[in-house]
Amino acid sequence: MKDHCRGKMIMTTNTTPSIDLNQHDDQRHAFLDSIDTLIFDCDGVLWLDHHVIPGACEALAKFRSMGKKIKFVTNNSTMTRHQFLVKIQSFGIECSIDEIYGSAYGTALYLKSIQFNKKIFMIGEAGLENELRDAGYSPIKFNTDHTVSGISNAQNIEIERDIGAVIVGMDTSLTYSKCVYAHKAITQIPGCMFIATNTDHSYPVRDGTLPGAGSIVTMIQSSTSKAPIIVGKPETLLMDVIIKNEGLDRSRTLMVGDRLNTDILFGINSGTKTLLVLTGISNKQSIIEENIIPHFILNTIADLI
Amino acid sequence: MKDHCRGKMIMTTNTTPSIDLNQHDDQRHAFLDSIDTLIFDCDGVLWLDHHVIPGACEALAKFRSMGKKIKFVTNNSTMTRHQFLVKIQSFGIECSIDEIYGSAYGTALYLKSIQFNKKIFMIGEAGLENELRDAGYSPIKFNTDHTVSGISNAQNIEIERDIGAVIVGMDTSLTYSKCVYAHKAITQIPGCMFIATNTDHSYPVRDGTLPGAGSIVTMIQSSTSKAPIIVGKPETLLMDVIIKNEGLDRSRTLMVGDRLNTDILFGINSGTKTLLVLTGISNKQSIIEENIIPHFILNTIADLI
């Protein structure tokens, strides 16, 4: 299952038609009995923009009272788990730090899982840096104000020769110099890994979108002709990390999300059960259009209890 | 033939086997008689790194004495024609400014050809800016030192609302702010064009490569989900501009290059004759591997006379 982390998405097709739990009240109880752990995408599932989905808090409290494990995942690499905890709790949702898996934390866990012990060059925000530091790594400091100008200055940028990994996430302080540094490390240092926190091409904000981590990753991938190891959804690395860290049984784990091509594909690719809720981006028509078939469908997470 | 300028390369296949002019001394004269204009890629054809190809100067002088038109093309958008003229002449090659077509100049000519008269936002070096200014355009000044930090600052970047084109080329002063500006103009302003000077993913320098214009274009294409209009080789827009500007007959025009997937494809896509010289990147084995078949092959441009 590792191969598709290298820049190409292998779609593990689920060909079984979705069970619409809206139509089968009687099946919800049996369905919940078959699940030990619920892994939640958040925006579009538990809240939408700045408003909690009605009944979501109560549903999660009910799952907890039934003894279910709850996990929260996010591809956003700009926030540490602590920052994400504050955000989740701001919606009145019960949560603890050890239930949160972001792509920044997932990247740090992945590095530890492979006993990575070389230098890191990072394109990313403080959220990524802090997770790496918490895991014992010290990403190379590259002055964010260090903007070169002109080809000859760019080619004179010197890199440290013992870098073992370039990690690329969302970075609002991106400069051409940083790209040159990453490009040189990946193309000039034998064995240097290229790791992407996630591949979301745009980053949703209040009034539209910004260029996302995925667009920066695409630039480095394009210039170096190297495919990255991808941590975030819909690749499986983040799920592998959660499954291993928590000792979960994939067959009794449910990925809950509102987007077919990230959340649901993430669950399908990872071998968990998947539940599409219709409170966010994808709808029933999307299933036909994208041909990504969730195991279960429900209008809202609140309807599961 | 216009469609393939929008981000996807349509390979107009030439299925006729190449004529190896090395093997057919007798055909070279007839071949030259069938040509009015020779369009040269430069690096790998007329010079290699810092050394002129032996006999190249004499060959070009001979073509001129035979009454042939000579043109020079480059995808490099960082240099103005004046700068490129100095470079060509530094190799002892006779050249005049009106014989030079770079992707920066080609972009300016393209804008004029469509009577473009709106505002321009540009990601690029002084070479691109100067060619646009020479054509009467004033690209919006965006402080290259203006680096924002943090999502909220990035989303607060205000763009001018009457931009009609975002032009993206190689830019060693690239910042995330510039990407945000380009991204917002392309995604928020109806009808705003997205033009790429060229799509070379890497930029060759002394000791390796740097991220090229194509990698920056790929980033903006990825974040906006919009395909650019591409000026440079192997797309046909630059050739269309040359043909129109010079009043050339495509069937009596020869594109001479050392790279199959840029120069030769450029000629094939544009409906000119093509000559691969073996003094640069591609060799006879490349023709089989890449399945791009030049009309003619010759060891070196000097051998044509």
Per residue in B153-180, pLDDT tens?
999 999 999 999 999 999 999 999 999 9
Give B147's pLDDT tier (boundaries 50, 70, 90): low
Q: What is the mean pLDDT of chain B?
A: 92
Binding residues of A: 41, 43, 233, 258
Residue B174 makes CB contacts below 8 A (sequence gap 6+) with: A174, A175, A176, A179, B123, B216
For residue A222, give the nearest of B145, B201, B224 by CB distance: B201
Q: Angle at CA A259, nearest 5°, toward A196 and A208? A: 75
Domains and their CATH numbers in chain A: 3-75+234-304 (3.40.50.1000), 118-229 (3.40.50.1000)
Size of interface A-B (CB pairs under 8 A): 139
> Per mean pLDDT, which range of A183-187, B6-10, B37-41, B178-182 is the poorest?
B6-10
Interface of B with A (CB under 8 A): 78, 125, 144-145, 147-151, 153-155, 171-176, 179-180, 183-184, 187-188, 201-203, 205-212, 214-216, 218-220, 222-225
pLDDT score, position B145: 53
B148: chain A residues, CB-CB within 8 Å = 172-173
Per-residue H/E/C for chain A: CCHHHECCCCCCCCCCCCEECCCCHHHHHHHHHCCCEEEEECECCCEECCEECCCHHHHHHHHHHCCCEEEEEECCCCCCHHHHHHHHHHCCCCCCHHHEEEHHHHHHHHHHHCCCCCEEEEECCHHHHHHHHHCCCCCCCCCCCCCCCCHHHHHCCCCCCCEEEEEECCCCCCEHHHHHHHHHHHHHCCCCEEEECCCCCEEEECCEEEECHHHHHHHHHHHHCCCCEECCCCCCHHHHHHHHHHCCCHHHEEEEECCHHHHHHHHHHHCCEEEEECCCCCCHHHHHHHCCCCCEEECCHHHHC
Q: Give the end-to-end CA distance of chain B in Å, rounded to a whole number.
A: 34
Alpha-carbon distance A37 to A123, whole Å? Answer: 33
Least CA distance to A125: which residue of chain B? B150
Question: If we measure between CA atoms, which residue out of A299, A252, A305 comes closest to residue A39?
Answer: A252
**Closest CA–CA distance from residue B148 to any residue of chain A (Å):** 6
Write down the pLDDT at residue B146: 58
Give pLDDT, residue A147. Answer: 66
Q: Which residue of B has its CA nearest to A157?
A: B210
Task: Mutate one of A87, A143, A168, A172 to test the B interface: name it (highest B CB count within 10 A).
Answer: A172
Q: Residue B240 catalytic? A: no
User: CA B182 to CA B188: how far, in whole Å?
Assistant: 10
Whether A3 sits among the annotated catalytic residues: the reply is no
Closest residue to B209, CB basis, from A78, A187, A211 = A187
Catalytic residue chosen out of the listed positions B26, B36, B41, B145: B41
Is the pLDDT assigned to residue B10 strictly greater than 70?
no
Residues of chain A with pLDDT under 70: 1-12, 143-147
E strand or H helix at B46: none
Of A287, A43, A61, nearest to A296 by C-alpha is A287
CA distance B196 to B107: 8
Q: Contact at 8 Å (CB) between A261 and A290?
A: yes
Question: Residue B260 corresponds to which amino acid?
Answer: L
Res B90 pLDDT > 80: yes
Question: Under an 8 Å CB criterion, which residues of A touch B?
Answer: 78, 125, 144-145, 147-151, 153-155, 171-176, 179-180, 183-184, 187-188, 201-203, 205-212, 214-216, 218-220, 222-225
What residues of B are in contact with residue A154 (Cβ under 8 Å)?
Answer: 172, 205, 210
Cβ-based contacts of B175 with chain A (< 8 Å): 147, 174-176
| pLDDT average, residue stretch B42-49 | 91
CA pair distance A247, B293, nearest whole angstrom: 57
* Cβ-defined contact of B179 to A215 (cutoff 8 Å): yes
- Confidence category of residue B23, pLDDT binned at 50, 70, 90: confident
Q: What pLDDT is attached to residue A145?
A: 53
pLDDT at A78: 93
Chain A residues with CB under 8 Å of B151 CB are: 78, 172, 203, 205, 210
- Assign B6 a pLDDT band (cuts: 50, 70, 90): very low
B12 pLDDT tier (thresholds 50, 70, 90): low
- Among B20-24, B32-36, B98-102, which is the least confidently predicted range? B20-24
* pLDDT value of position B4: 37
Q: Which of A155, A211, A222 sits opposite B207 (nearest CB)?
A: A155
The two structure tokens encoding residue B248: 């050339």
| pLDDT tens digit sequence for B232-286 | 999 999 999 999 999 999 999 999 999 999 999 999 999 999 999 999 999 999 9
Q: Do A149 and B183 touch (CB under 8 A)?
A: no
Of B187, B211, B225, the CB nearest to A219: B211
CA distance A176 to A241: 32
Comparing B146 with A252, which gets the higher pLDDT?
A252
Whole-angstrom Cα distance, residue A17 to residue A112?
A: 39
Binding-site residue ranges of A for substrate: 233
Q: pLDDT: is A27 or B63 the higher one?
A: B63
